[in-house]
A and B are shown apart, each in its own frame.
Chain A
Amino acid sequence: MSTPTHLTKTITDPEEAMTHSIQTPVLDRSPERRGPAEPRPRTRASLVSQAKELFTGLGPGIIVPLVLMLGLVAAAAIPAALAPSGPLDMNPAEAFTAPGTAHWFGTDESGRDVFSRVIHGARSSLLIGVLATVIGLGTAVVLGALAGLGTRAVDFGVSRFLEVLFAFPGLLLALLVITILGPGVVTTTIAVGLSAAPGYARMIRSQVLSVRRSGYVEASIVQGKSRAFIVRHHILPNVAAPLFVLATLGVGQAIVWASSLSFLGLGATPPDPEWGSMLSLGRLYIGNAWWLTFFPGLFIVLSAATTTLLGHGIQRKLKDK
């Protein structure tokens, strides 16, 4: 009655560890723990109740980040409607106003409303996060699929290449890319995307390999199905869901990294309302205006936490199915 696979599971790399830890079902949310289902009313309101059911069915693990995410997307889409003033509107008379009813998040050294700037900053942060993830995942899908579907020699080559890239940890690869491409918003996006790619590629490779070795793929091979058929009908659908989770998690990470690069002065340039560079400037006045440091950072954390929670929520949902 030994469970060898269970016991010998030792986590050796962070990516695997991350997915491993994420995939644990949270006991509190298992269906049998939930209270008895309410009797369904048979009135006209069935549409409402259906929506309600869908809502509760998703669970708070998805609903809360989803609502936050909608708020951020709204800020990114229609900042002018949400923010009381423009991101660059100066009012020197009101410089360094503390947070209050007039200025929720206070004002900066030029009297610009921090709340408005933070709201206007959502667009660039989300855009950079999404684009960097697209770049990273795009590169990773190519590399991961090559390694996972290719011959043994191709797999070996790609895996060694990834191993070399892993020796440039974290921001280092991004800094290397920026040295070549020069600082700026576009290059930051590319740099963040490329530096996230090796991690994704390794996960995609192992996912593809595990699907490839599964029983149903073997059965299809025996049935004489073509390679293209197997890739389309078995491998893609099974890799797509984890890929979606990865993308959601990746956006948050990319936002954090891109804002770090902006903070270091390599991304967005100061007058633009970018969270990282706002914080970097705000730190000059950390002794007398804490809000210049606090609020831009809070929004970075909020948006990254939102996508992380959403990604984990979706992952648990998929796992439950």
Chain B
Amino acid sequence: MSLDTDNRTTSHSIAAPATRDTEARARLKTVLRLTGFRILGAAGVLWAVATLAFFAMRLVPGDPVDALLGGPGNNATEEVRQATRELNGLDRPLLVQYGSYLGKLVTGDLGDSYQLREPVAQVLGEQLGNTLVLAVLALATAWVLALALALWSARGGKVATLVGNLLEVVSAAVPHFWLGSLLILVFSVSLQWLPATSGAPGIEGLILPVLTLAIPLAGFLGQVMRESMLTAMNSPFAISSRARGESEASLSLRHALRHAALPGIGLSGWAMGSLISGAVVVETVFARPGIGRTLLQSVLVRDVPVVLGVVVLVAAIYIIVTLLSDLAERWADPRLRAA
């Protein structure tokens, strides 16, 4: 499917094969170089995130030794404290600790949890799958809902405008914990169709949490997609298509839909981040295991290695998805490639 504003395709097919070859190679080179730069940039941001989080966690009040020995109320002797300090490398200079933290991070070692006495990587490894399933399903659901909404409401008219305005409100004002609770009230308490908790494996337990995460996101994506679609429907190529006698339905399905999807692709990184952050609340509402709940529990007891681990992990996911969505956007939108 060629994008309507891209009329270079015709000139390419006329050009001699040799020119086409060099041109294609040059283009590939540019793409590879750009991709390389983006990957380097992403790695840099990830390093900065890990660094910032590490030093921010040094600001947590209290001696980490107390946390290691089971809370501030412990009555360990000074010798035990000193031994614990040495065992965990807390007696070394801060920069040395930072260096060893970075070194371990590269190999995937996130240290040990104060509370659970387990490697953080292991704790998070067990929980990450649950959260990712939730977030990816919610993202897909939000996409479908938003595209449907955009297609329907871009036709214009009073009702569509009203729905568009309503979307603004839903996406900005409805907190996940209320929406989730309402869904539980309706579908678990009143109708008793679906379980109120999501601990057990199985698809039934996933429906309500996924909807809770997806609906506000769909409201936001729907707004952006609708906007982009309206712009496309009023642009010169759409006018010329109409002049050729193309029907509105075909125009919106064949051409404008692609324009509507573009910002959705570009926003996927941000959406993924906000979904994982929303998972903290949704996993609590539906008593579902996952890194969101792990994070919350660690924040409450100030289990610094776990908080640090979750933060770095989520940032890494965010950065990777943003990188992928940037590249996907470039792939889906030839106009971005021209630069």
- By a beta-carbon cutoff of 8 Å, the part of chain A in contact with chain B is 1-3, 6-14, 17, 20-22, 24, 26-28, 160, 163-164, 166-172, 175-176, 178-180, 182-183, 249, 252-253, 256, 259-260, 263-266, 276, 279-280, 283, 286-287, 290, 293-294, 297-298, 300-301, 304-305, 308-309, 312
Instruction: Tell me the bound Cα distance from A286 to B189 in angstroms.
Output: 8
B152 interface residue (CB < 8 Å to A):
no
Instruction: Tell me the bound Cα distance from A293 to B182 in angstroms.
Output: 8
Q: Is the CB of A14 within 8 A of B280?
A: no
**The 5 residue pairs across chains A and B that have the minimum distance between CB atoms:** A169-B273, A170-B277, A297-B178, A304-B173, A305-B173
* Chain A residues, Cβ within 8 Å of B185: 286, 290, 293-294
Q: Is the CB of A290 within 8 A of B189?
A: yes
Q: Is the CB of A10 within 8 A of B284?
A: no
Instruction: Tell me the bound Cα distance from A27 to B234 in angstroms.
Output: 14
Q: Is the CB of A2 within 8 A of B175?
A: no
Q: A286-B184, A300-B173 are in contact. List 5 more A-B contacts (CB 8 A).
A: A180-B61, A252-B173, A287-B189, A298-B178, A309-B168
B278 interface residue (CB < 8 Å to A):
yes
B228 interface residue (CB < 8 Å to A):
yes
* Chain B residues, Cβ within 8 Å of A290: 185, 189
Q: Is the CB of A168 within 8 A of B49?
A: yes
Q: Is the CB of A263 within 8 A of B329?
A: no
- Which listed residue, A7, A14, A171, A294, touches B270 by the CB 8 Å rule? A14
What is the CB-to-nearest-CB distance from B180 to chain A, in angstroms, rounded to a whole number?
Answer: 9
Instruction: Tell me the bound Cα distance from A22 to B220 in angstroms.
Output: 12
* Chain B residues, Cβ within 8 Å of A266: 299-300
Q: Is the CB of B178 within 8 A of A301?
A: yes
Q: Is the CB of B236 within 8 A of A175?
A: no
Q: Is the CB of A175 within 8 A of B227?
A: no
Instruction: Tell me the bound Cα distance from A304 to B165 in angstroms.
Output: 14
Q: Is the CB of B168 within 8 A of A312?
A: yes
- Which chain B residue has the least Cβ–Cβ distance from A302? B173
- Which chain A residue has the least Cβ–Cβ distance from B49? A167
What is the CB-to-nearest-CB distance from B120 to chain A, in angstroms, rounded to a whole number?
Answer: 14
B252 interface residue (CB < 8 Å to A):
no
* Chain B residues, Cβ within 8 Å of A256: 172-173, 175
Q: Is the CB of B273 within 8 A of A175?
A: no
**Given known contacts A176-B53, A183-B300, A290-B189, A279 and B178 CB-to-CB distance under 8 angstroms:** yes
Instruction: Tell me the bound Cα distance from A106 to B334 in angstroms.
Output: 58
* Chain B residues, Cβ within 8 Å of A12: 263, 266-267, 329
B181 interface residue (CB < 8 Å to A):
yes
Q: Is the CB of B227 within 8 A of A20?
A: yes
Q: Is the CB of B175 within 8 A of A3?
A: no
What is the CB-to-nearest-CB distance from B263 to chain A, in angstroms, rounded to a whole number?
Answer: 4
**Given known contacts A10-B262, A11-B263, A176 and B175 CB-to-CB distance under 8 angstroms:** no
B158 interface residue (CB < 8 Å to A):
yes
Instruction: Tell me the bound Cα distance from A76 to B329 in angstroms.
Output: 46
B311 interface residue (CB < 8 Å to A):
yes
Which of B80-88, B90-98, B313-321 is the interface stretch? B313-321
